Amino acid sequence: MTNPTHVSSDEIRTRFAAAMSEMYRQEVPLYGDLIDLVTRTNQDVLTGDPGLRARFEQDGGLARLSAERHGAIRLGLPAELATMRRLFAVMGMHPVGYYDLAPAGVPVHATAFRPVTDEALRRNPFRVFTSLLRLELVEDTTLRQQAEDILSTRRIFTQEVLDLINRAEDQGGLDTTQADRFVAAAIETFRWHGQSTVTQADYRHMLDAHRLVADVVCFPGPHINHLTPRTLDIDATHRAMAAAGMRVKASIEGPPYRRCPILLRQTSFLALNEAVLFPAGAGQESQSGAHTARFGEIEQRGVALTPTGRALYDRLLDLARADAAGGSDHATSLTHHFAHFPDDEETLRTERLGWFRYAVTPGYRPHRDDSEASMDDLVRRKVVTAIPITYEDFLPVSAAGIFQSNLGTDAARSYSTRSHRKVFESALGAQTRDEQALYEAAQARSVVQVRAALSRG
């Protein structure tokens, strides 16, 4: 039974997301400019497309759109990941999906902590892509041991947030005062520190191993490295970023431009060169230097694809990448191959390539025989409206592309392609949820609700 004095996990997540956005705006003022650009683009899109605005209103998505963000952090040790899982659970965020970026040259594997129910996603869809460094991929054994020793001595969580996590687990939630204290204490884990925990010489050794290794190992905590607003037109926003003088990534990650967006497209302004103070080494004074890690990302989310749709997407992507490896222009190859991917919602739905949520069309008065009709027939007769289910997750190839462009590397190396999902889940202390099962369940729930509504006609 829910304790009436407890603040809902959705509300705690909303408070935390707002606090994170404000903190990042203060730390990275250019992020505030990015939010303004995205807001203007979204307003222009909704003004120019009344049908899209109506759909957002019907699905409760307008309020969600303005608040929607995802963040990303990089952890160093399994124990950090296990505690992070407990911290996010207080906010109703659960590990969904497993992403191995090692085959793309980035020595991490990851999950996304996010809400999983329809109502929680409507309330606030804040999500955090959370990577765990795979130290076993550091080839220099001496450097690997040094990194383990450095990480073992740091404490990325305040004692207060640990106490409040325990309190939330013991009593089944937090009251409003405790929730405010929790948010304030939790934010400290994600804050930027302009001081390294290692000497400049050691930092350079880590940097030589991999820029991401240096970012994870050489600082007191897993500073949030980007906070991403959702745009309804990533191409227009990307152009606006460049026009505003931002140093933007050359290309947009994910599928090419389409009339009907699918999955996820991402781009960013490039990582900032930020001042860092390195502690004194033997016989030396503290040294000033710089670190490049934090950047400004935007994303456009489209229809979540079924396993059939995802298999087609992956096949076309592989063809485009093979062309690029042979010297062809990657953007041109993407456009060419993705011409074979249906670009209208009805075909995506009828060919079972995308997931959809169904609802009785507003104003329709059900007839008795409606309850026996197929869902396809009901949609055809406009008895029922099919609304695309938004993709809430991530793409490993796109994530690697963003990482690489902002780490200043083309990641020519490639690590082992063998999945380490079980190792990751052991560190996590839980299994990651299957994103496809979540989408399938959301569609199935909507069908049940439609059937129930029509049976009362």
pLDDT digits (tens, 9 = 90+) for 166-191: 999 999 999 999 999 999 999 999 99
Q: Which residues of 147-171 are buried (b: 16+ CB within 10 A; e: fewer)?
A: beebbeeeebbeeebeebbebbeee
Lowest mean pLDDT among 21-35, 195-209, 409-423: 409-423
For residues 158 and 165, give the distance between their C-alpha atoms in angstroms, rounded to a whole number.
Answer: 11
The yes-or-no verdict on residue 322 having pLDDT over 70 is yes
19 exposure class (CB count in 10 Å sphere: 0-12, 13-18, 19+): middle
* Nearest by Cα to 304 from 431, 442, 430: 442
Instruction: Choose between 397 and 164: higher pLDDT.
Output: 164
Q: Which residues pair with 110 in a beta bridge?
A: 99, 131
Instruction: Choose between 270 and 447: higher pLDDT.
Output: 447
Other C-beta atoms lying within 10 Å of the C-beta of residue 453: 16
* Mean pLDDT, residues 185-203 taken together: 92
Helices 29-48 and 50-58 cross at an angle (nearest 10°) of 110
The pLDDT, as a whole number, for residue 449 is: 92
- Can you read off the two tokens belonging to residue 114? 């996010």
**Angle CA(273)–CA(185)–CA(31) in degrees, nearest 5?**
30
The pLDDT, as a whole number, for residue 416 is: 57
Which CA distances in Å does 21 have to 94, 178, 229, 244, 428?
Answer: 20, 21, 10, 21, 26
Express each pLDDT in 355-369 by its tens digit: 999 998 887 887 777
For residues 193 and 373, give the distance between their C-alpha atoms in angstroms, rounded to a whole number.
Answer: 60
Residue type, 210: H
For residues 375 and 361, give the distance between their C-alpha atoms in angstroms, rounded to a whole number.
Answer: 13
For residues 164 and 176, give the distance between their C-alpha atoms in angstroms, rounded to a whole number.
Answer: 12
Residue 272 per-residue DSSP state: P
The pLDDT, as a whole number, for residue 397 is: 66
The yes-or-no verdict on residue 445 having pLDDT over 60 is yes
Which CA distances in Å does 150 have to 197, 220, 395?
Answer: 8, 10, 31
The pLDDT, as a whole number, for residue 406 is: 46
Phi, psi of 363 (to 5 degrees): 90, -10
- Non-local (6+) Cβ contacts of 104 within 8 A are 396, 397, 400, 401, 404, 411, 414
The pLDDT, as a whole number, for residue 370 is: 78
Can you tell me which residue has the tokens 């020595």? 107
The yes-or-no verdict on residue 2 having pLDDT over 70 is no
* Mean pLDDT, residues 266-271 taken together: 84
The pLDDT, as a whole number, for residue 393 is: 96
The yes-or-no verdict on residue 150 having pLDDT over 70 is yes
Can you tell me which residue has the tokens 């949520």? 357
Average pLDDT, the chain: 88
In a 3-state reduction of DSSP, which class is residue 291? strand
* Mean pLDDT, residues 260-287 taken together: 82
Express each pLDDT in 86-116 by its tens digit: 999 999 999 999 999 888 778 899 999 999 9
Other C-beta atoms lying within 10 Å of the C-beta of residue 256: 20
The pLDDT, as a whole number, for residue 411 is: 46
Q: What is the pTM of this model?
A: 0.90
The yes-or-no verdict on residue 396 having pLDDT over 80 is no
CB 193 within 8 A of CB 220: yes
Q: How confident is the model at residue 324 (pLDDT cuts 50, 70, 90)?
A: confident
Residue type, 435: E
For residues 170 and 225, give the distance between their C-alpha atoms in angstroms, rounded to a whole number.
Answer: 32
What DSSP string describes 301-347?
E-BPBPHHHHHHHHHHHHHHHHHHHTT--HHHHHHHHGGGS--SHHH
User: For a pLDDT cut of 90, what percent of the chain falls above it?
Assistant: 57
The yes-or-no verdict on residue 4 having pLDDT over 70 is yes
CB 67 within 8 A of CB 17: yes
* Mean pLDDT, residues 242-260 taken together: 88
Residue 138 per-residue DSSP state: -
Domain 6-303+393-436 class, CATH top level = alpha beta
The pLDDT, as a whole number, for residue 423 is: 93
Q: How confident is the model at residue 410 (pLDDT cuts 50, 70, 90)?
A: very low
- Can you read off the two tokens belonging to residue 248? 């933007």
CB 199 within 8 A of CB 269: no
Query: Alpha helices, DSSP H only, in 91-197?
Result: 118-123, 141-153, 159-171, 176-187
Q: Where are the beta strands (DSSP E) in 77-159?
A: 94-100, 108-114, 127-133
The yes-or-no verdict on residue 329 having pLDDT over 50 is yes
Lowest mean pLDDT among 18-27, 50-59, 186-195: 50-59
* Mean pLDDT, residues 63-70 taken together: 83
**Angle CA(9)–CA(55)–CA(317) in degrees, nearest 5?**
85
